[in-house]
Each structure stands twice: as C-alpha cells, then as structure tokens.
Structure 1
Amino acid sequence: MAQTHILGYPRIGAGRELKKAQEAYWRGEISQRELLAVGADIRRNNWQAQRDAGLELVTVGDFAWYDQVLNHTLLFGAVPARFAQGAADNKLDQYFRVARGRAPSGEPVAASAMTKWFDTNYHYLVPEFSTGQQFALDSDWLLDEVREAQSQGYKAKPVVIGPLTYLWLGRAEGDALALLPALLPCYEQLLQQLADTGVTWVQIDEPILGLDLPAAWRDAFAGAYRRIGDAAQSLKLLLATYFSPLRENLPLAFELPVDGVHIDCVRASEELPAATAALRDEQVLSVGVLNGRNIWRADLVRWRRELKPLADRLGERLWLSASCSLLHCPVDLDTEKKLPEAQLQKLAYSRQKLCELKELQTLLQPGHLVGASPAGEKDTGDSTGSIACRAGSHSTDGYTPFESDSIDSVVGASPAGETDSANSAASIVCRAGSHSTDGYTRFESDSIDSVGDELKDSWRPQPYAERAPLQRQRWQLPLLPTTTIGSFPQTDLLRQVRRQFRSGEISEQDYVDHLRAEIAEAIRRQEILGLDVLVHGEAERNDMVEYFGEQLDGFVHTGNGWVQSYGSRCVKPPIIFGDISRPQPMTVEWSRYAQSLTKKPVKGMLTGPVTILNWSFPREDIPRSESCLQIARALRQEVLDLEAAGIGIIQIDEPALREGLPLRQSEHRGYFDWAVACFRYTCSQVKAETQIHTHMCYSNFNAIMDAIVALDADVITIESARSDLQLLLAFAGKNGGYPNEIGPGIYDIHSPNVPERAELVARLQKIAEVIPLEKLWVNPDCGLKTRSWAEVGTSLLNMVEAARTARAELA
C-alpha cells in the first residue's frame, strides 16, 4: 500500500503561539525556559496531527525559532565572527542576534542579510561564508528533537538541507562551491549520529536541482552524495526536490546513491512518467500531489486515476505527499469560525491536507473499487470525498472549470463615473470579500497572450527623460530628498481599536475618527523630523495586501489563515475566489485628508497588482496573468482618482515582483511580459508631472534588472542595508546603471537597532560613489509598521540629519 508523509509542517502554531512567545521573550516578558516550552508544545501538536492522519513517519527538524536556513548555519558552525560574543553562555540569544541584530543578552550587532526562499514570500537568513571558511558540527538541537519525538512514541524522519543547496543559498567571498570539501565531513558525521539514534529515514532537501545549474554544481552532486551515502550506514536517504521541474537534472537525481526521490507533481506533473522510468528497483518514489503553497482542496479523483497503476506496481515504494513543505500554508481550517460552509468546503489548510493524503491513500489501496468513494458511497466520477479532519464537513462535488466572463468583457468603470458618496472614508473601512465560485481545475498556461491586447501598449506617453524635469519643477525638492516607504508603527492602541470596530464595540464613525487622529499625528511627527515627502502612515491598513483585498470584489478573507513570512512576522493572504473589480475608491479619502494637513507632498500609497496576486492565494482555474490584469484595472482607477484628488506622488509597491518569477530561465520572459506590463498599466494614464514610485524588497536584482527598468517608475526604493549595499551594485552596472531615480534603503528596519548618524552619512557617501546625486533619494529599507515609535523617531531623525550632512558635503 502507498505510504504517506510530508516534507515539513508549519511551525507558528494554530494560534500563532510561536510569534507571541518570541516577541514576549524579546521584550523580556517571559523567560527562555518558557519560550522553549512553547516550542515543545508546538512540535508535540505538529507530530500528533501527523500521527492522527495516519502518517507512519513524522517530520523532525522542520521547526525553527526564526528560520530553517539559520538553523543549519548554527548546525554547521558557520556563524560569522561578529556574533561570537556570549555564544557559549546562550546559544539561543546568539541565534536571535544573527537573525535580528539583538537579543535579550549580548550587545547589538548588524543582523545577517535576508532574501526570499526561491520563489516564495518566505525570507531566509543568508549564510555568510568567508575565505577559508571552516565548519564544525553542532547537532545537539536536531538530535534532541529526534529523541524528543521518539520519547513520545513517534517514528522520526529528520529533515536537513542538502550541502549543495546550503552552499548555493549563501554569500561567499569567493566560489561557494569550493567550500564543499570542508562542509561534507559535517554531513557525514551528522548522518552517523542520526543512525545512532535509531532513525531509519533522513530527508535531504536539494531544491536547487530545479534550477538551471552551472555544470560545476551539477557535477558536484555525484561525488558529494557518494560520500554522504557511504556515511549513511543503515540510514535510508530521501532526496527531496520541489518548486520547479527537474528537466535535465532528473536523471541525475535518480542516479544518486539515495533510497528515494521526491518530485513536485504540482509544479511538474508532466515529469511523473520520466521519474517513474528513472526509478531504480530499490528506490522509493515520493510524489508531491497536494499543493503545499495553496489552500484549495486537491483533485483526488484526478490523482487516483493517474496514480492507481503506479500504486499497484510500486506498493509501499510509492509515497504520497504535498509538493513542498506545508510551511507556506495556514495551519488548521478548524480555526476558521466565520467563513461560510460553501467556502470552507473548497479549502484545505495544512492539517486538512494531511487528511487528504490519508484519503488518497485509501483510494489507492489494492482492491479499492475505482467507482466507490472512501465511505462506500456511490461515486459519480467527480467526488473527492470528505475531509475527515474538519469537523462537520461534508462531501462536495468535485472540481469544475470556473465560469467567468471573458477578459475582454470585463471593463472597469470610469473613474470619472464614481459618485461622491463612494468616496467617504466611513464607507471604505472594512469591506468583506464577495464572490464565491464553482470548484477549481488547475490552469496550466500562463502568458501575455492569455490577457489579450489590453497590455500591449501600457507605457506612459512621455519617457522618463521628458517627465523628470516637469516633476522637479513641480515639487522643488532638495538634493537627496528624504522620505519613508509608507507605513508607520501599528501601536497596541491602534490594534485594539481595530479589534473593537470589527467586533462591533465601537461605531464606524468612532473608528474613522481614531484613524484620522493617527494620520494627523503621523503628519505632525514627519514635519517635526523634517522629512521632504510625507506619507499618511497607513493606520487604516491591517496588511499591505489584505487591506486591498478587503476593498476589492473577488476576494475572500480568513480569520486565521496565517503563514510565516520571516521570524515572528506572519501574514494572512487573502484568497482570490472570483473575478476582481473595484466597487469604490480604496485610499483616496485617507490620502486627501493627510494632504490637507500639510503643504509638503504626501504620497498616495498602493500595493501593486503583481504583489497583490503573489501575496494572495490565487485561483488555479485561470492564468495568473488574467487575475493580475483584473487587479491592475482596479488599481488604475484608484491611481487616476488619487491624481484627481491632488495627490501628485503615488507609490505603487511591487516587493513581490521577483518571487513570482519562475525558477527556470526559459520561463522568465513569459512571466515578465505580463507582470511588468500589468504594473505599467496601473499608471499608464497619469500626467507627466505625476511622479510614480515603487518599492522592492530583498531580491537578486542583477537577475531582473531589465524588468525593473521596464517598470518605468520614476523612483524606485529598494532594501539594501542588510547586504551592506552589495545589492545596490546591480543599479550601477551595465548601460550606465538604472536610468531613473533610486532610494536605496540606508538602514535596516527589520532590526530593532537604531542607526547612528555617522554610520548613515558614511553609507550615503558610499552610495553616492555609484548613484548620481541628482537621482538619489534617502529612505529606510522598508515600511516601519513593525517598529515602535521610539525606534522610528530616533532612526528617522538620524536619517534626516545624515541627509543634510551629506548634502552639504557632497554638493
């Protein structure tokens, strides 16, 4: 009989227990012992959920106090020297200093860089490798978790990141691959230690096998795994790949001396026949058939049909799993108390996906009638059966194509046609998502062709060279103008008021009055600090994507659909449940009010169409490009309404542009064709003197510079402080560098450390060596929502004073 397992499980807890405990520990409100107890409870609950769903092996080593890559940096003794202080006395605090620059003990220090985990919205801590890097195994935490699981009666399957992927993810002074011989002894020793604990299977993740690898990296796999295989002794090794087709690397993966290979059949179902043919007689084939990155129920009928012959042939050598770790999914649908039953029936969070695996295992059992449902009920051919793990759930019809209007027939309302009543702040506070839809059949194609001719002429009429003088004349900004990325601290009081409004404890007008007071205070503080271009602070927004989803038709919003973004930062992606449209303005009244309080320009703040798409749970029955265009239509109406309201600087953030990029080079152009065009579409009709900004987060900018230039934003702000400005070099490269204006973040907002003024001056001087002064803006790395006002006030004051000093010195 086919077996079931998973590659990893969410570690935040069903009620975000980890986040709450982490932040309480950082504030000094709980002890380290109490924090450790919370982690132990989360692990116990995770393992119990896997056992309850019939998984024979529970995954161990997927828990992390901040990040799984950082776990491995400590595992292999690769912590940079600047974090060495106090490590012997308090390793957990050392861990947190690497992650965020500060912990309850030890001195503050510059945190390690963060970047996106492949094409997801999860951020990992980038390993830093020095010349002659030495590694030393420190495996106590992993071995302790294995023994912890075993002591509770579980059969543990430890998971580790493979050596090639770990080195690939790092930042080295030279060739990271040259460090492989020094790293491999740690893996050999670790496997020997795991064998001594009595585990039988170890999962080794090598997702870089889904990339276009240089020949040297591909060639390194055989020798590395020969050594690893020899050290494994009685262990069996499962090589896990995900996020991308293997293509030319598929034969390599199955030729390695491993006992099983996991493939992502959600991203590359077409490779199942080739993987089956490449499977050696003794190997296990693990198939990821449930989408580990989305929340829709799986089409179990489809997978029963496709896998039944394979299950009959392989028996226990066929393992059923999710496509990747369930880290990217919410924890438990049972925590959703307000979603209608019709919507609940279409969804599966992580715990429900465990039950889907059990259900699929039942469907594939020898002797199970193909025409029978798991409960023995009549199967009409499209029933997927019930999700046993959700109390009160019922069997529903299977998946049918989404019945929607064609993209050519969806015409957005003219901004001029909006009525004044639709513009009231009170009417746009908290709109619920609307449309429910029929079931979902995954749509495989995604290209510019799928959205017709609408995006083919999305450029602004005037090129930047003509727009820039008009904008400078209008705004009369000083050299090195200062601004922020948009959000200001979301205080405990603000969150409390928002909860009171949502629960009906205060009226809508009381809520609006409080938000106006927050905006007025944000404007007052910025004027005192001396910033040149202000923001309204986004007090009305719970999240930069969820907020817009609440204002747009076509989205559904959850109460507890949290997923981890990094560390203690969790986000709650909205679900795209239907066609998207804007029934009324979303931000205009807040921006208009803020601008009325000051003579300085106040930026209008929007999240871009690509980011709203990539940071939502998308539909799978139509191309992503079509959903993106629907969002872009809505945002274009908003941009024009902002401009009509007198807002002449509008920021349209696209921090998720890079992460939506397919991992294979051959698929990049198709994605950028529609993604970049959708961004341009949002602002293609504004006047030349209206200045369009955008913001982008940690990313490999070198790989996407052509696309960034093609966005045609007048000003781009980027996160760069954690990389010691190395990311900035991409903007000073070929063809004279980035042609428009740029604001490299000069201090790291993800760390509680307050930057010194002299440090910021030195950073600006360094930036001015590669970016012309007339094109340079001064700003933090990212939004300030997660910081306190005490940190923000001092940091921004130092930033403004540093800009003034640099103006005088550099001019």
Structure 2
Amino acid sequence: MNTLLPSSTAGSLPKPSWLAEPEKLWSPWTMDGEDLAEAKRDALRIALLEQQAAGIDIVSDGEQTRQHFVTTFIEHLSGVDFERRETVTIRNRYEASVPSVVGTVARERPVFVEDARFLRQQTSAPIKWALPGPMTMIDTLYDAHYKSREKLAFEFAAILNQEARELEAAGVDIIQFDEPAFNVFFDEVNDWGIAALERAIEGLRCETAVHICYGYGIKANTDWKKTLGPQWRQYEQTFPRLQASNIAIISLECHNSYVPMDLIELIRGKKVMVGAIDVASNTIETPEEVAATLRKALEFVDADKLYPSTNCGMAPLSRRVARGKLNALGAGAQIVRRELAGA
C-alpha cells in the first residue's frame, strides 16, 4: 500500500432492506434464484460506493453476498448436514442450533471467487476479502465425524487454502481470516490454532490478515464483555505467537473497549489493523475521536504499519449509523495522515 494509514472495515456492512431483514444476523433473503443473485450484486455495488464516498482505502464487498460470515462458507462444503442440527455453545458464550459434520469435509467448487471477481471488476482500489478462520469454523458446528477439534481445523485449513489461492488469482489484494475464537480458546490457539491458520495461508503471495475481536454488537457478546473486568488482556495470550507467525496483518479491537493499547507492542513489526470504530453502539464517532484512537496506537506501531479499521463487522447496525461510522473512519484517518505529513 502506498497510502499512509490505509483504512478499511473489518468485515460486514448492513444489507439493504430489499435484500434481507435489516439489523439482524442470519437474516433470510427476501428473494431467490436469479433475482437474488442480481440483488446481491446490486447491494455489493452500493456497499462499494458507500466505502468510496467515505474515503475508505481498502474496500470490500461488505459481505453483501453472504448471509453470515461463517455459515455461508460452510454451506458450500460437503460432509456437513444442515438438516441434522445440534445445540452447541459458541465461543463459551451463547447457545445456537448448528449443522453437523457427518463425513469428510470437502470443497467441491469455489465459494466466493465469482463474487470477488465481480468486486474486482468494479474498482481499481485494493480489495480485501474475509474468510472464516479454521478455529471459528469448528466452533460453529457439531462434529459427529472427526471427533477432534484439531483434526477438523486442519481439514478446514486445507479447504480455506484452496479458496484463498483462487481468491488471490481473482485479484484480491488482502485475504483476512476472521478468528474471534482466538480470544477464547487460548491453549488451543497456541497449541495448534495458529498452525492451522498458517496452513490456510500456505503458498499465498497476497497479503494475509487475521481479525480477532470481541464480537458483533449483539446482546450475547455485550453481556460477555461485562464479565471481562476493567482490563481486557486476552490478546496478551496469543500475540507473542502471532508476532512470530507468517500472518502479515493483525486486526484487533480498540475503540470503546478495555483493551490496553500497549498490548500492541507485543506484535511490533507486524502491520496492525486498529479498530477505531465501536460496532456495539449506535453512537457515531466523530472524526476527532477516531484520530485520538489512532494517535494512541501510533505509540506502539509504526505509522507505515498502521491500518485504521472498525472493531468488527457492522451488519447488525442500521445503514444510517454504519454510513456515519464509515465517514468518521475515513475522516479520522485523514486527520492523522495530515498531521504525519506535516511532522
């Protein structure tokens, strides 16, 4: 990236009400067939335009073409039965009815490659594509086949690597793996989670990122955050190993959280996607609030490695609020850019 402090979102943007019920995760589509395919492309174009209008430098599809950041990828794999559902506790936080792994998992065809190719055709800007990480995938399923979280994670890592290689060939500049589970299962992260992630990025020449946050602004997550005490130091348990990994960019939550900013020092040398927008609040940040978060982060990460971002995806928010937050992110990054240029 030639741009100083290149901004991006961590993931999803709200969907238009004509595509899916707004402000809701796992919202069903309002249509199907070719009408749905065309509506998804239209929504992708709008998400791109709104990012561009806000001055966002690294653009994405806003996850307009998928219902959920994990489940939609899994839906396209064989070996998973969506009719055979079991209740599991996701990330030790809330119960959900999830599909079951009933046989060998495999990717029989590309999942997001055509959507990524379509996005690439719409813009010359750098584009980022998000995929679920292996550990977060296994935490969103009931495993009735492998009976081993580690083995299933590495099976998914190999599948993700296939998809990532084709996304790279389609023109994606940054492939981001979403691993909120990394803030929960610390022993597994260090034992095999990071190794599974490195299997997923094997052979890629494009930049890679891992996004680790405290979750969408839904009640189960906000209630959990209230139990974490006055300082959220979860990153401390995984950052040293991530610093030594082959992942190029680490994306974390900062604004309006209790994460001590000095934890970023543990990943010194990595590019850091700093969450400067709170996705668990309808309050729209001012550009100056965004700039203040970025200035604080600059004490622990070099300016050429700082990537302003959102804490997490914004799918559960209203489009008005998300648009305002996008604008604040773009403007806040510009404030600090100007300051650095004048220094």
TM-score range, shorter chain: 0.7 to 0.9
Q: For residue 600 of structure 1, report the CA deviation from its aligned partner.
A: 0.5
Matched-pair contact (CA < 8 Å) for 1:546–1:574: no
| Residue number in structure 1 paired with 2:136 | 611
Is 1:751 aligned to residue 281 of structure 2?
yes
2:200 equivalent in structure 1: 682
Indicate if the aligned counterparts of 2:6 and 2:57 stay in contact, CA closer than 8 A.
yes
Tell whether 2:327 aligns with 1:797: yes
Deviations 1:44-101 (A, max 9, x none): xxxxxxxxxxxxxxxxxxxxxxxxxxxxxxxxxxxxxxxxxxxxxxxxxxxxxxxxxx
2:250 match: 716
Q: Aligned equivalents of 1:570 and 1:500: distance in 2?
A: 23
Alignment check: 8 A CA contact 1:545 1:573 kept:
no
2:102 alignment counterpart: 577
Q: Is the 8 A contact 1:742 1:777 kept in 2?
A: yes
**Cα distance in structure 2, aligned partners of 1:755 and 1:572:** 35
Deviation at 1:486, TM superposition (A): 1.6
What pairs with 1:70-219 in structure 2 (closer than 5 Å)?
Answer: none
Quick one: which of 32, 37, 40 aligns to 1:515? 40
Give 1 or 2 for the bigger CA radius of gyration.
1
1:693 corresponds in structure 2 to 209
Per-residue deviation, 1:557: 2.1
CA distance in structure 2 between the partners assigned to 1:771 and 1:805 by the alignment: 17
| Structure 2 Cα separation of the partners of residues 628 and 565 of structure 1 | 15
Give the counterpart letter for 1:783 in structure 2.
G
Task: Say if 1:589 and 1:620 are closer, same or farther in 2 by CA, change over 3 A.
Answer: closer
- Report how many residues are paired: 318
Distance, in Å, in 2 between the alignment partners of 1:602 and 1:500 is 25
Report the counterpart of residue 270 of structure 2 in structure 1. 740
Matches of 2:139 and 2:69, distance apart in 1: 12
Rounded Cα–Cα distance in structure 1 between residues aligned with 2:145 and 2:114:
34
Q: Residues of 2 paired with 1:599 and 1:625: CA distance?
A: 39
Displacement of 1:572 in angstroms is 4.9
Could you tell me how far apart the structure 2 residues matched to 1:809 and 1:723 are? 25
Aligned to 2:183: 658
Matched residue SS, 1:584: coil
Between the aligned partners of 2:279 and 2:336, the Cα distance in structure 1 is: 21
Of the candidates 171, 181, 192, which is equivalent to residue 646 of structure 1?
171
CA distance in 2, matches of 1:677, 1:600: 31
Q: Which protein is richer in strand relative to its size?
A: 2
Match of residue 730 from structure 1: 263
Match of 1:489 among 2, 7, 14: 14
Q: CA deviation at 1:706?
A: 2.2
Return the match for 2:237 from 703, 708, 725: 703
Cα displacement (A) at 1:673: 3.6
CA RMSD of superposed structures (Å): 2.6
Cα distance per residue 1:114-162 (max 9 Å; x no partner): xxxxxxxxxxxxxxxxxxxxxxxxxxxxxxxxxxxxxxxxxxxxxxxxx
- Displacement after TM superposition at 1:738 (Å): 2.8
Deviation at 1:710, TM superposition (A): 3.8
Q: Is the 8 A contact 1:490 1:786 kept in 2?
A: no
TM-score w.r.t. structure 1 length? 0.37
Quick one: which amino acid aligns to residue 779 of structure 1?
Answer: S
Residue pair 2:269, 2:301 contacting (<8 A) in 1 also: no
1:777 alignment partner, SS class: strand
Q: CA deviation at 1:683?
A: 1.2
1:724 Cα deviation (Å)?
4.7
SS at match of 1:494: coil
Query: Which residue identity is paired with 2:181?
Result: A
Provide the residue aligned with 1:307 in structure 2.
Answer: none
Distance, in Å, in 1 between the alignment partners of 2:169 and 2:331 is 34
Partner letter of residue 195 of structure 2?
A
Q: CA deviation at 1:500?
A: 5.8
1:608 Cα deviation from its structure 2 partner: 1.2
Cα distance in 2 for residues equivalent to 1:771 and 1:577: 45
* Identity of matched residues, %: 26
Distance 1:778 1:518 in 2: 24
C-alpha contact 1:553 1:579 (8 A) present in aligned 2 = yes
**CA distance in 1 between partners of 2:153 and 2:117 (Å):** 27
Aligned-residue offset at 1:619: 3.5
Choose the corresponding residue for 1:783, options 300, 306, 313: 313
Equivalent position amino acid for 2:8 in 1:
T
Q: Structure 2: how far apart are the matches of 1:743 and 1:605?
A: 14
Which residue in the other structure is 1:269 paired with? Answer: none
Query: 1:496 Cα deviation (Å)?
Result: 5.2
Residues 773 and 554 from structure 1, CA distance in 2 versus in 1: closer, same or farther, beyond 3 angstroms? same
Name the aligned partner's letter for residue 797 of structure 1.
N
Unpaired segments of 5 or more residues in structure 2?
215-232
- Cα deviation, 1:571-620, whole Å, max 9, x if unaligned, reads 65332222211010011111110111111112122111111112322347
Residue in 2 that maps onto 1:549: 74
* Bigger relative contact order, structure 1 or 2 (CA pairs below 8 A, ≥6 apart): 2
Alpha carbons 2:291, 2:336 under 8 Å: kept? yes
Shift of 1:707: 2.4
Determine helix, strand or coil for the equivalent of 2:79: strand
Q: Which residue of 1 aligns with 2:114?
A: 589
> Which SS does the other structure have where 1:606 is aligned?
strand
